[in-house]
Amino acid sequence: MSIRVGNGFDIHRFSDAPDRVLVLGGVTFPGEPGLHGHSDADVVAHAVAEALLGAAGLGDLGSHFPDTDERWRGADSLELLAEVVRLLHEDGWSAVNVDCSVIAERPKLAPHRDRMQVVLSDLVGAPVTVKGRRAEGIGGLGRAEGIACLATALIETRVHFVDQRSS
């Protein structure tokens, strides 16, 4: 069995558009301003996808779903994450777990954390944990200008990789 680790990061600023909905980890946050982005701007789902892709060596979110492609405008980030999980499985990998730290002054994640973890875990097929962190007033995140997420994924495969350099 082989295991690999990947890191993911995403950040979006808050949108001024009144019709924009805030989505984090596939869960909507009523009454909160949405994030600006080409898709639904779900920073948690994006960071999870980036971590999984990085661990498997399958590129990044932008190479699979470029923001220059109109097909992805307004896309549901859970659908993008589902495609990333499919790509991993196709390549022989599966997630062991993913851990996320969401950096935001607002909104409070605690009332939605359990639902976020269930939604993401079901989709990824492995435990996904979500923690909220504050930027303590430092920089744009500390001024509540947006939200960022860091994710770390552990993946495994039963396929044995042969190092071609030693042959």
Domains and CATH numbers, the chain: 2-166 (3.30.1330.50)
Distance of CA 161 to the CA centre of its chain: 27
pLDDT at site 161: 56
Average pLDDT of the chain to the nearest whole number: 92
pLDDT tens digits along 13-35: 999 999 999 999 999 999 999 99
pLDDT tens-place string over residues 116-129 = 999 999 999 999 99
Interval 44-80: pLDDT, tens: 999 999 999 999 999 998 888 877 877 877 789 999 9
